[in-house]
């Protein structure tokens, strides 16, 4: 952007000769950049710490959801297999076969329903993705802070960039 355009009609004397010089001097508007200081670095360290803590929390939540997915998913597959084997051993019309079939179908259906309704695999994936994104923020901030202040991106640009990234992750991360 340009603040102003100035036209300068100057007459310069060079070896006692006068030459008309029409020159346009353009002053560009240079925005002063925000310098890095200890307060800004402290803010970035705080964001890095929060990001690392959130990554750990989402890692724990992802592991929990993965365990729940297996606890409810594996038996709902194995129980019908066991029921099929028991039906082959015992005749279908015996009292024990009827009870085993009824309980097996009830348990298998209940576990499958809970697993499908609660969507543990989807929750596991969401927590895992949130963990990855928080770890990326942590790593990015650490790589910024390790550089000398002169080699860093402008402080105000970095603040806005990482503030928006963290807010976006916070909005899209599943509840803990």
Q: What's the pLDDT tens digit per position in 57-116?
A: 999 999 999 999 999 999 999 998 888 777 777 766 677 777 878 888 899 999 999 999
Domain contains 9: no
What is the C-alpha radius of gyration for the chain, rounded to an integer number of angstroms?
34
Say if CB 54 and CB 127 are below 8 A apart.
no
Domain contains 137: yes
Domain contains 40: yes
Domain contains 6: no
Number of domains in the chain: 1
Domain contains 10: no
Task: Identify which of 140, 160, 158, 144 has the alpha carbon closest to the alpha carbon of residue 51.
Answer: 140
For residues 139 and 133, give the distance between their C-alpha atoms in angstroms, rounded to a whole number.
10
What is the value of pTM for the model shown?
Answer: 0.74
Domain contains 2: no
Domain contains 115: yes
Domain containing 74 equals 34-172
Domain contains 90: yes
Strand partners, 166: none
pLDDT of res. 33: 78
CA 152 to the chain's CA centroid: 23
């Amino acid at each position: 952007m340009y603040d102003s355009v100035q036209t300068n009609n100057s007459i310069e004397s060079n070896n006692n000769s006068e030459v008309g010089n029409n020159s346009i001097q353009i002053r560009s508007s240079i925005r002063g950049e925000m310098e890095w200081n200890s307060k800004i670095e402290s803010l970035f360290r705080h964001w890095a710490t929060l990001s690392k803590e959130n990554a750990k929390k989402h890692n724990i939540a992802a592991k929990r959801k993965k365990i729940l997915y297996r606890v409810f998913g594996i038996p709902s597959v194995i129980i019908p297999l066991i029921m099929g084997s028991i039906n082959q051993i015992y005749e279908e019309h015996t009292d024990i076969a009827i009870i085993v079939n009824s309980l097996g179908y009830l348990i298998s259906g209940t576990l499958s329903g809970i697993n499908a309704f609660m969507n543990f695999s989807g929750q596991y994936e969401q927590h895992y993705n949130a963990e990855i994104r928080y770890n990326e923020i942590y790593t990015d901030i650490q790589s910024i802070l390790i550089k000398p202040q002169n080699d860093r991106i402008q402080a105000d640009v970095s603040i806005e960039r990482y503030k928006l990234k963290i807010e976006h992750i916070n909005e899209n991360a599943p509840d803990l």
